[in-house]
Amino acid sequence: TLKGKTAVITGSNSGIGLGVARELARAGADVVLNSFTDRDEDHALARALGEEFGVTARYIKADMSKGAECRALIEQAGVCDILVNNAGIQHVAPIDEFPQDKWDAIIAINMSSAFHTTAVALPLMRKAGWGRVINIASAHGLTASPYKSAYVTAKHGVVGMTKTVALECAREEITANAICPGYVLTPLVESQIPDTAKKYAMTEEEAKQKVILERQPSKEFATTEQIGGTAVFLCSDAAAQITGTTISVDGGWTAL
């Protein structure tokens, strides 16, 4: 059980981040949800999650594209035993047409945010004598696809950062690992389906099966619960010697 531990999950008002927060809360952890908005529904989401699992759940607004806000998120949380760096965005374009502002945003949100949050969270973990850094990378942290230069660069960077953090904490009860999901049906992926269908003149169902899941041998999407369950495992005693590595949850994608 994770009772008494506090988890901060960046980008967790939807998709994988929310799924991870739910599984950590189910396992007894107090959770801090985050995104860049500050709506009533964001705070209500945290309240409902806290009630559902009988844990303390807070929502803290912070924009992960800004280093100072990443750092402020952890400072405001005050305690961070489990840090899940999950916030991420995508943009798809050939590299010679890739908008510079999209490149900068993806590098900032998908990669540099993890540097800033980890830098502030590690001293808190050291004070507590225990910690877990869990970076949500991607199959694209291990392999590439065309037209996703910024995303693939950022995710490979996160995998490298994970190894470095693991080595810097190797003699402490702090581990750092990356979960590498294949396709998970979240708003991030759902938003790519209509365009993909149009591009290939297919129905949306065909686009899902034939294009999006083309590289996923299981032909099934991974679920946010499965990513969350993997995070819970990484927090368990069984995983205490697992550090500086990646766990793929990708239906066989990276085995191809």
Rounded CA-CA distance 211/204 in Å is: 10
Find, among 147, 166, 172, 173, the residue nearest to 246 by Cα.
Answer: 166
If one asks whether residue 181 binds ligand NAD (CB under 6 A), the answer comes out as yes
Which range binds ligand NAD by CB under 6 A, 6-14, 76-84, 91-99, 203-211?
6-14
User: Per CB under 6 A, does 230 bind ligand NAD?
Assistant: no
**Interface residue with ligand NAD, options 117, 138, 230, 248 (CB under 6 A):** 138
Indicate the burial class of 68 (C-beta count within 10 angstroms; 0-12, 13-18, 19 or more): exposed
Determine if 186 is a binding residue for ligand NAD (CB under 6 A). Answer: yes
CB of 1 to ligand NAD, least distance (A): 26
DSSP state of 37: -
Query: What stretches of 38-173 adopt beta strand conformation (E)?
Result: 57-61, 82-85, 131-136
- Residue 92: CB minimum distance to ligand NAD, A: 13
Dist CA 161 CA 136 (whole Å): 12
DSSP character at residue 222 = B
- Shortest Cβ distance from residue 4 to ligand NAD (Å)? 26
**CB half-sphere exposure, 196, CA atoms < 13 A:** 17
Nearest CA-CA partner of 148 in 106, 198, 93: 93
- Would you name the residues annotated as active-site residues? 151
CA 182 vs. chain centroid, Å, equals: 12
Which of 49, 74, 84, 86 binds ligand NAD (CB under 6 A)? It is: 86
Closest CA to 181 of 223, 214, 210: 223
Task: Give the contact letters, 92-131, x = binds to ligand NAD (CB under 6 A), - = no.
Answer: -----------------xx---------------------
- Please select the residue that binds ligand NAD; options are 11, 131, 228, 251, rule is CB under 6 A: 11
Q: Is 189 in the site for ligand NAD (CB under 6 A)?
A: yes
Q: Which of 24, 45, 60, 64 contacts ligand NAD by CB under 6 A?
A: 64
The CB-of-140 to ligand NAD minimum distance in angstroms stands at 7
Number of residues that bind ligand NAD (CB under 6 A): 27
**C-beta closer to ligand NAD: residue 79 or 105:** 105
CB atoms near residue 192 (< 10 Å)? 16
Residues 151, 219: contact at Cβ < 8 Å?
A: no
> Residue 183, interface with ligand NAD (CB under 6 A)?
yes
CB of 241 to ligand NAD, least distance (A): 25
Name the site residues for ligand NAD (rule: CB under 6 A).
11-17, 35-36, 63-65, 86-89, 109-110, 136, 138, 181, 183-184, 186-189
